[in-house]
Structure 1
Amino acid sequence: MNVVGVRCCRARIEHTFSAWQVYFDRQTGGMLGRFIGHRPSRVTNLFGALIGRAERELDIPREVITRSLRSSIRLDGRLDEKVNQFDEFLDLVSPPPR
């Protein structure tokens, strides 16, 4: 297990033979939720940068980091009133799978 701090967020990364898991702390999910609420037009750039950096520097597969970001925002992003539009929005702003 690795604990990685990337500027304003911390993540615990677990890798087993069969699966990856990335767990973000609560503050990261809250920060991402606020960012989505206040700057939705910039989320595409943010997600692309986060996913790209995780792939290049940490060798985390794109699907894993995307799933982990979604989970973190869903749990801690405080988007309760928008939850039914949340997945559609993230489908639009997330980079396509490789």
Structure 2
Amino acid sequence: MFALSVAAGGYLLGIGPAPAVARVLTGLAALALLWLSLWTVLTGAALLLAAVLVTLIRRNAHETPDPARPTDLDRAGRLRGPAGREHEGDRHGGGDHV
């Protein structure tokens, strides 16, 4: 059921959106898992694992920061506003106001 839901819905629960390759792999895994023999279950499990790995690799590849692009945090870890200024809450000294 899990493999069919990923293939049809395109979302891997707990990981995020599944790319097209992972959806095809989970569809094949679902078909292989329909037959309850040792080799088809092992093949289906391997295809499902491959789909999860593809999704994780694609997700991590998209999350790598670009060193040429500046971050929105200053050196102290506070959020910066436009043009590198500090966030409005930090303008009055501290930003921990209640």
With the length of structure 2 as denominator, give the TM-score of the two structures: 0.26
Query: Which structure carries more relative contact order (alpha carbon 8 Å, separation 6+)?
Result: 1
* Structure ID, larger Rg: 2
Greater helix fraction, Structure 1 or Structure 2: 1
The TM-score normalised by the length of structure 1 is: 0.26
Structure with the larger strand share: 1
